[in-house]
Chains A and B, each alone.
Chain A
Amino acid sequence: MSRPLISVENLTLRFRTDEGLVTAVNDVSFDIAPGEVLGLVGESGSGKSVTAKSLMMLNAENSVYDDDSRITLRVDDREIDVLSLRRPREQMIIRGGAISMIFQEPMASFAPAITIGNQMVEQLLIHSEMTKAEAKEVSIEMLARVGIPEPAQRFGQYAFEFSGGMRQRAMIAMALSTKPKLLIADEPTTALDVTIQAQVIELMKDLVAEFHMSILFITHDLGVIAQTADRVAVMYLGNLVETGTVRQVINSPAHPYTRGLLNSLPKLDDLDAPLTPVPGDIPSPLDRPSGCVFHTRCPEFIGDVCKQQVPETTVDSASHQVACHLATRGESA
Chain B
Amino acid sequence: MSDVLIAARDLSVHFPLRGFVLGERPVVRACEGINLEIEKGSFFGLVGESGSGKTTLGRAMLRAAPISHGEVVYSDDEVTYDLGTLKGPELKDYRTRAQLIFQDPYAALSPRMTVRDIIAEPLEVMGLTSSREETDQRVREIAAKCRLNLEHLRRFPHAFSGGQRQRISIARALVSDPRFIVADESVAALDVSIQADVLNLLNKIQEESGITFLFISHDLSVIAHTCDFVAVMYLGQIVEAAPTRKLFSETAHPYTKALLSAIPSLDPDAQSRAQKLEGEIPSPINPPPGCRFNTRCPHARERCRSEVPEWREMSGGHHVACHFAEEID
Contact = CB atoms under 8 A, between A and B. Distances in A.
- Give the dominant DSSP class at B's interface: helix
B224 interface: yes
B161 A166 contact: no
A166 B280 CA distance: 9
B262 A197 contact: yes
B65 interface: no
B193 A266 contact: no
A92 interface: no
Contact of A195 (B193, B259, B265, B269): B259
Chain A interface helix/strand/loop/mixed: helix
Interface stretch (A172-180, A219-227, A305-313): A219-227
Contact of B192 (A197, A250, A261): A261
B150 interface: no
B263 A264 contact: no
B53 interface: no
Interface residues of A, number: 41
Contacts of A224: 264
Interface stretch (A20-28, A104-112, A198-206): A198-206
Contact of B280 (A196, A251, A266): A196
Interface stretch (B56-64, B117-125, B195-203, B317-325): B195-203
B244 A277 contact: no
A267 B221 contact: yes
Contact of B49 (A193, A250, A261, A282): A193
A268 B224 contact: yes
B265 A223 contact: yes
A278 B161 CA distance: 14
Contacts of B261: 198
B240 to A, nearest CB: 15
B245 interface: yes
Contacts of A43: 191-194
A227 B264 contact: yes
A71 to B, nearest CB: 27
Nearest to A282: B161
B55 to A, nearest CB: 14
Contacts of B49: 193-196
Contacts of B219: 194, 266
A223 B280 contact: no
Interface in B159-198: 161-164, 191-197
Contacts of B326: none
Interface in A157-175: 163-166
Contacts of A194: 49, 218-220, 259, 262-263
Interface string A41-74: 0011000000000000000000000000000000
A193 B221 contact: no
Contacts of A281: 161, 163-164, 194
Contact of B264 (A165, A223, A251): A223
A224 B195 CA distance: 17
A201 B261 CA distance: 13
Nearest to B281: A193
Contact of A277 (B200, B220, B222): B200
A110 B28 CA distance: 27
Nearest to B197: A277
B253 to A, nearest CB: 14
Contacts of B260: 268
Interface in B241-275: 244-245, 248, 258-270, 272, 274
Contacts of A221: 264
Nearest to B223: A266
A52 B204 CA distance: 39
A53 to B, nearest CB: 20
A133 interface: no
Contact of A264 (B192, B218, B259, B267): B192
A198 B50 CA distance: 15
Contacts of A261: 192-193
Interface in A190-243: 193-199, 201-202, 220-224, 226-227
Contacts of B272: 202, 227
Nearest to B249: A271
Contacts of B265: 223, 226-227
A332 to B, nearest CB: 20
B185 to A, nearest CB: 13
Contacts of A276: 196
A43 B259 CA distance: 25
Interface string B100-141: 000000000000000000000000000000000000000000
Nearest to B159: A284
B50 A193 contact: yes
B277 interface: yes
Given A43-B193, A195-B262, A268-B224, 20 more contacts: A43-B191, A44-B191, A164-B280, A193-B50, A193-B218, A193-B281, A194-B218, A194-B219, A195-B259, A226-B267, A226-B268, A227-B265, A266-B196, A266-B222, A267-B266, A268-B221, A271-B244, A271-B245, A275-B200, A277-B194
The 3 closest A-B pairs by CB, nearest first: A277-B197, A223-B264, A278-B193
25 contacts: A164-B280, A193-B49, A194-B49, A194-B219, A195-B277, A196-B280, A197-B262, A198-B262, A198-B264, A198-B277, A202-B274, A222-B266, A226-B267, A226-B268, A227-B265, A250-B267, A251-B268, A264-B193, A264-B196, A265-B221, A265-B266, A266-B196, A275-B200, A275-B225, A281-B161
